[in-house]
Amino acid sequence: MPRTIAAILRHGDYEQPEGVPSAFLPHPLTKTGREQARLCAQSLLEFARSKCLHLHPVVDTSRMLRAWETATIICKHLGEFTGEEFTVAETDALAERSLGAAANLTVDRIAEIIDRDPRYAALPDGWKATADFKLPLQGAESLREGGERVAAHIEQTMNNLTNEVKGDSIKVFVGHGAAFRYAAVKLGVLTDEQAPGLSMFHCVPVYLERDSSGNWSQAGGEWKVRKKNLPAMD
């Protein structure tokens, strides 16, 4: 069986309004974010070559503009570096955790809406970073549900990859920090205790590998350690 590694990476820096959770924000990358994506392509290639892995030509990405732009830039530069053709495949499965009807509102505005609805209690402190809390609004997900959705896509894609490729390979997934973090929990790479204290650097891959028994482990890259007392906005 060929060795297969999933490279999961958060999109580049983007135009995120102050006080608004990332979720389904439609805004583009900043200049910094575009440069991060370019450098990421080089980093991916260096890792692949160091492990004698072939980069799969299709990069899976969330449909959010910031993720799609990141994936597109990565594909462009990987093509320039290798002379091969790389393409982007968009999927809803890699979206960030959904806030449903509260998407793209500020944290304060979300709290106000819940307070004014007689059906619901006030939001608990730290609700955004609580794994199993879900806004009582249509279409909302908990962090864990979002992570399970992403993990299912990674599992299925990597299962297919094992049957598709003939040699050791690496597959790139571009998405969002919180959803990837809880996907890693679902896959057994992180624990529930570790996840709240971690995030992901923009465009810095974390490499996940599954062994022949189906167990996942981290094969490279690094998570970002959150600074204490800072609100989680990813």
For the chain, the structural domain boundaries read 4-98+168-225
- Angle, helix 31-50 to helix 65-82, in steps of 10 degrees: 50
Average pLDDT over residues 142-163: 97
DSSP-derived pairing of the beta strands 206-210 and 216-221? antiparallel
- Taking the whole predicted model, whether its pTM rises above 0.75 is answered as yes
Q: Backbone phi, then psi, for 195, in 5-degree steps? A: -55, -45
- Greater model confidence, 228 or 53: 53
Q: For position 227, what pLDDT does the model report?
A: 78
Average pLDDT over residues 110-116: 98
Taking CA atoms, 203 is separated from 70, 103, 110, 158, 168, in Å, by 8, 24, 29, 21, 23
Q: What's 4-98+168-225's CATH class? A: alpha beta
Average pLDDT over residues 204-209: 99
